[in-house]
Structure 1
Amino acid sequence: MIKKISRRSFLQACSVAAATAALTACGGGKAESKTADAHEAVTFMAPYKEIEAFIEQVHSVYPEVNIEVVPYSGDNTTTCLQNMFAAGDLPDVCTLTYYDPQIDLVSDKLLDLSGYDFTDNYVESRLQDVFDNGAIYLLPSVYNCYGITYNKTLLREHGWELPNSFAELEVLAAKAKEAGVDLCLPQIQYPGYGFQYLCNIADADFLGTLDGRLWQKDYLSGKANVSNTPGMMQAMAYVKKWKDIGMLNDSGDALDDNVTLQRMAEGNTLFLIGNTNGIVEADGNADKFGLMPYLSEDGTQNVFVLNVNRFYGLNKKLKQNPQKLEDALKVMRVLSTVAGTSALQPATALKSSLLPFKGAKADGTYYADIADTLNAGNTAPFIYSGWENTFVTTGLKMLDFMKGNATMEDVIRQLDEDQDSVVNNTPDFITTVTEELSQQDCAMLVGRCFAQATGSDLALVSLSTWIPGNPTEQNHHGVAAKLYAKGITDYDLSVILPTGWNRTIQTVSLTGQQISDLLASGYDAYGNGKGYPYVLVSPVQPEAGKTYQVAICGVSDQLAAEATVTDSGVVGMDAAKTFFGAYTTISRADTAWS
């Protein structure tokens, strides 16, 4: 165990003070959109959404409502929101990415919305999904339909038919190989993808049957596992067939799904498996794309997977402030309309999403040609809630299987071995945080970790704040959140790490004067002069004339042009597991570097 530091150094206090000043200068970790009146701002959180457009929509109807944005732009929105929820650290209008009223208990933190008229705007089937003994605590927003993207143009050029069964897919795979056409690009950036592919394919086999749904409950309660259930063993063998014909492989880009999408758009790959639907025609590329279901062996159990993208609700504490509650209800009222929800979605996301409202049409979306199939009910629910403690481990094992580094027996064994932690909710903790650590505290810890892992003299760690006018991604290369008092897993680390799950740490050689200039200007991610603040993490005060190796989180184009930025080759997550794992417990006292 590393020796605890009893107090923060003067240098740490100075660096955090500088970051705080910079936060104030650029609008802060939270940014308000105020109208002229004195209504207290409603805090609102919608990571990676078009928040400014939504605020404009709210003001077009309710100009008196003030909205304060609570930002997040890290790699793990799901765990970030779940941690905030568990800690009770909620904005007024709060959001979750996954919600199952049969598993997730939220009545102690959220208001029941069932009595408000705006719930009448929703399709009844979507409301049925969120009913909790007659109450409604979270309302669904847009939802996605996951299937397999296919290149319509490529099929037509070769005179091939879209397969309607795995048997037909197997025949097509042989034709594609003979013609020199790549069969499939899987998206593999995140470890959870492997788990999703496993479940989605199995949904077209045993997992999607009534017995399969019952098995899911039995697994979660410890009554049955994979290896002692013949139907699941059959489904796992079916998943292996997808690898055998080349649909499951490691040809996607492991660091960036967008690179995989770009390769798909080049036009020599038939299929794309992943969580990003709606490839639109790029400039100079006239190829057309569609979506097909996950195919069953004989085509009788083909299935699309439905997943609500976000759920929104109201903090129960609003009852203590009638004016704020009234304004928050106005925000929810706008959010519960086609215009409001559409304003919140990026244009590309809207094209590949379905709205939960009465009268909303699939026309103009990526799903127009499969709307009848979806309405016929050939769908399965997205599997996540309750499975969190095997989602990453089994996902990683599946990705290893796709790469040829593991067998299907290894995947089965992983699911069976994870069952105890799933049933008893006992994840593998790396360390325990004993008190809430602020965004700046986390930046100090990350800076120490990254500097030590790369042999650097110090670190500059940018903070992810919300800056009006910047793109929805904001700062994806900084520390984006807090850590709460709890056991810490790799999920929690991925919430705060600028490198996410699998990116590497960058270093740069800078003089003390350059460091000082960067602290003043911040990380100018978009070259518009709106800098995200850096936190300096160093055991000494840099001297203007000396040169230092710096572990840096947030490199602007200008800095990259002026200095030599080096990829250390050290994966940030690996470094963080080692660094945080050396502590039995962590508190604010451990953030200082002396």
Structure 2
Amino acid sequence: MTSLSRRQILQLGGGAALTAFLASCAAGGSGPSTAKATGKLEYWSGFASKEQETFFRTNIVDAFNATKPAATVELSVKQFDTIDRLVQTALAAGSGPDIVLANGPAQIRAYAQAGYLAPLDDFAKKLGWNDRILPWALQTGVIDGKLYALPSNYESLLAFYNPATLSAHGWAYPKNRSDFEALCAEAKGKGIVPVAAGNADYQAANEWHVSVILNHAAGPDALKQALAGKAKFTDPVFVDAITQLKGYFTKGWLGGSVDRYFTNTFSSQYKQLADSKALFNFTGTWGLGEIKPFFDKWQWGAIPSLRDGVPEEVWELSLGGTYSVNAHSKNLDTAAALVDFLLSDPKRQTKGLAEVGAGLAPIKIASSDFPADIDQRTAALFSAIAGAPNVGYTTWTFFPPKTDTYIVQGWEKVITGDVSPQEYCKQIDTLFTAELAAGAVPPLPQ
């Protein structure tokens, strides 16, 4: 169960593979940790809400400390928009938290290659991680043949909306590009922001939108081919998709305007939905834990197809974060025991999802593990993802680190007009090609 989960489902290859993945989920849970833990641990994390922090303290920190009396976890709460820089600085100085949180496989590779992380292969065998954690997710933490990270949670992208807003104007939820663009134009004309968006709280929100356009306009098949090195990111299908997304920003369809995009906070976006001042918000399953304080009548929808030929319903596969152990930790066994605890007890996992929208760990979870009073919208969402006929790929999970960093930072220059879509795609392709040759591209699970 992760606490810092800005980018938080499932498995590669299509509907059949996804069905197989979920069948493995239904196999049941796992027992409690058997590690012998002693010593003190520093755990740094940020939280999307006070409710998530309280849940984490009670159900993780206090619960672990109670079951491991010789060990003590000390939680240090950080701002989620600065924690990455704090961790990087501390690791470079040979210090930092015992448990290293990262946004996903792309980021963790750089840490491992810098020698900041302890290999976890022996713990994986001892504690049964190879059997408990779903293979596709576990594989993403293997770097140069060694296991350096465990997936904290899985996620997908979606659209939140206020049904009352659509109803008031007689609008239907869009299923394709034509419907979506017509609705955006009409909403904009009525003074309603078509898609609430902004990166004031978190710069990497840029890549949520890039991931949306790559999967729903270029399409998951084209994207998979490029990630496998069988197509180029300079191909017209990608340049056209990026040009399309830039056009949406230029028209003010995302965020209201380019300038406002840089100042819009997440709370302001949810409030716009609640107040019928925005139609949609493109975000991820992590938003389940963020939107509730703003209004209760929210609903979710699959992000529509944004090009003819792309399926109407595509659910991205994504990992929201990873757990690693600091190579300089003085309590490696205790740190491994805490990671083991974080990735155990399916009922605790589903309780976190139901109560505070916490991400689910990619472990075996049975339908009987879910609480009976779970919000039916949440249950329906995970059912939809489970039955997805088509799956896509997020940038932060399946792109290598240098390419992913440029995707985030370079996008701002695209929407301000300083870099053209063609130049953006060319730089992505250049970086990706070099990292693919260097073996730095995260694996595409089979």
Q: TM-score, normalization: structure 2? A: 0.68
2:274 to 265, 277, 296: 265
2:43 aligned residue: 44
Query: Take 1:102 and 1:268, find their aligned partners in 2: how far apart are those partners?
Result: 38
- Rg (Cα) greater in structure: 1
**2:124 pairs with 1:117:** no
Asked if structure 2 preserves the Cα contact closer than 8 Å seen for 1:191 and 1:399, the reply is: no
Asked if structure 1 preserves the Cα contact closer than 8 Å seen for 2:213 and 2:245, the reply is: yes
Asked if structure 2 preserves the Cα contact closer than 8 Å seen for 1:44 and 1:92, the reply is: yes
Alignment of 1:128-277 (within 5 A): 128-131=139-142, 136-176=147-187, 181-189=192-200, 190-206=202-218, 208-209=220-221, 211-216=222-227, 226=234, 229-240=235-246, 242-243=248-249, 247-248=253-254, 249-250=256-257, 252=261, 254=263, 256-274=265-283, 277=287
> Which amino acid in the other structure matches residue 266 of structure 1?
D
> Which amino acid in the other structure matches residue 149 of structure 2?
L
1:68 aligned residue: 74
* 3-state SS in 2 of match to 1:309: strand
1:328 to 322, 335, 349: 335
Q: CA deviation at 1:115?
A: 0.5
* 3-state SS in 1 of match to 2:74: strand
**2:293 pairs with 1:297:** no
Asked if structure 1 preserves the Cα contact closer than 8 Å seen for 2:163 and 2:297, the reply is: yes
2:422 aligned residue: 412
- Per the alignment, do residues 257 and 177 of structure 1 end up closer, same or farther by CA in structure 2, a change over 3 Å counting? closer
- Number of aligned residue pairs: 369
- Please state which structure has a larger fraction of its residues in helix: 2
Query: Take 2:128 and 2:246, find their aligned partners in 1: how far apart are those partners?
Result: 46
> Which amino acid in the other structure matches residue 201 of structure 1?
I
Asked if structure 2 preserves the Cα contact closer than 8 Å seen for 1:176 and 1:182, the reply is: yes
2:395 aligned residue: 383
Q: Deviations over 1:133-166 (max 9, x none)?
A: 7754321112332222222232234443221111
Percent identical pairs in the alignment equals 17
- Per the alignment, do residues 333 and 420 of structure 1 end up closer, same or farther by CA in structure 2, a change over 3 Å counting? closer
Asked if structure 1 preserves the Cα contact closer than 8 Å seen for 2:39 and 2:70, the reply is: no
Q: Deviations over 1:395-452 (max 9, x none)?
A: 212442xxxxx28x72432453576677779xxxxxxxxxxxxxxxxxxxxxxxxxxx
* 3-state SS in 2 of match to 1:142: strand
Asked if structure 2 preserves the Cα contact closer than 8 Å seen for 1:173 and 1:245, the reply is: no
Alignment of 1:553-564 (within 5 A): none
Q: Deviations over 1:474-515 (max 9, x none)?
A: xxxxxxxxxxxxxxxxxxxxxxxxxxxxxxxxxxxxxxxxxx
* 3-state SS in 1 of match to 2:156: strand
Aligned-residue Cα RMSD (Å) equals 4.0
Tell me which of the two structures has the higher relative contact order, counting C-alpha pairs closer than 8 angstroms and 6 or more residues apart. 2
Asked if structure 2 preserves the Cα contact closer than 8 Å seen for 1:94 and 1:313, the reply is: yes
- Per the alignment, do residues 264 and 367 of structure 1 end up closer, same or farther by CA in structure 2, a change over 3 Å counting? same
- Per the alignment, do residues 102 and 349 of structure 1 end up closer, same or farther by CA in structure 2, a change over 3 Å counting? closer
- Per the alignment, do residues 241 and 360 of structure 1 end up closer, same or farther by CA in structure 2, a change over 3 Å counting? farther
Q: CA deviation at 1:201?
A: 0.9
Unaligned runs of 5+ in 1: 1-37, 401-405, 426-594
- Per the alignment, do residues 346 and 137 of structure 1 end up closer, same or farther by CA in structure 2, a change over 3 Å counting? farther
Asked if structure 2 preserves the Cα contact closer than 8 Å seen for 1:201 and 1:295, the reply is: no
* 3-state SS in 1 of match to 2:84: helix
Query: Take 2:229 and 2:411, find their aligned partners in 1: how far apart are those partners?
Result: 20
